[in-house]
Amino acid sequence: MAHATVRNAYSARAEEYVQALGSIEATAEADRALIRGWARGVDGRILDVGCGPGHWTALLEADGAEIEGVDPVPDFVESARARHPGVRYRLGRAERLDAEDGGLAGILAWYSLIHIEPERLGAAIDEFARALRPGGGLLLGFFEGPAVEAFDHAVTTAYRWPVPALEAVLAERGFAVTARETRADPGARPHGAITAVRAAGEANLP
């Protein structure tokens, strides 16, 4: 899905999205525990990629993390800045982080890669590998399923991933998976999460 198509689709529904899903209270307790626990183990700068309304960025900043939220949707960035003063937000996208090589200690990409076509996902993971220092941490949240396949998301087309398939994309680009989980909450699509670290040495960039 073209970057502009996704950005415009979220821009058109940004206010609705913020009202429905833009607070930490709207998140699952298990997800809060996972993300907070992961961030506490990251020693250095974290980028919340695709931060949306900015609630995860604000939560982790309040926990003491050195974190910045980036999102391609101007309405989300403006809303996040207004609702969470003192927390850093800027425009940005997964495939172009505007971060120095090896300058990050951690990347949180919580449901922010779900609209990228499978054949283009590697470009985003390559960019993560470039920006993370060796040993840097990555936490992905995504829709889990038995096959890599598209489905009709409420905003625009999204993709499900089996855990092994997504792990393979990460391994090809120099990441070592350290943990994974799946969950099926009532009334929600199956959820997946993968924690990985950037292996020492050069990233496997094209």
**SS3 annotation, the chain:** CCHHHHHHHHHHCHHHHHHHHCCHHHCCHHHHHHHHHHHHCCCCEEEEECCCCCHHHHHHHHCCCEEEEEECCHHHHHHHHHHCCCCEEEECECCECCCCCCCEEEEEEECCCCCCCHHHHHHHHHHHHHHEEEEEEEEEEEEECCCCEEECCCCCCEEEECHHHHHHHHHHCCEEEEEEEEECCCCCCCEEEEEEEECCCCCCCC
Best CA proximity match to 156, nearest among 73, 47, 48, 98: 73
Give domain limits for the chain.
3-198
For the ranges 3-17, 78-92, 118-132, 141-155, the lowest mean pLDDT is seen at 3-17
Q: What is the mean pLDDT of residues 62-84?
A: 95
Tokens of 168: 């393979």
* pLDDT surpassing 50 at residue 205: no
Residue 204 pLDDT level (bands cut at 50, 70, 90)? very low
Average pLDDT, the chain: 91
What tens digit of pLDDT does each residue of 22-51 get? 688 889 999 999 999 999 999 999 999 999
Tokens of 199: 């292996």
Better-scored residue on pLDDT, 19 or 160: 160
What tens digit of pLDDT does each residue of 110-141 get? 999 999 999 999 999 999 999 999 999 999 99
* pLDDT surpassing 90 at residue 195: yes
d(CA 38, CA 41): 5
The superfamily (CATH) of domain 3-198 is Vaccinia Virus protein VP39 (3.40.50.150)
- Residue appearing with tokens 């961030």: 39
Best CA proximity match to 153, nearest among 112, 108, 107, 92: 112
pLDDT at 31: 95
pLDDT at 2: 59
Best CA proximity match to 40, nearest among 108, 101, 117: 108
Best CA proximity match to 44, nearest among 194, 185, 198: 198
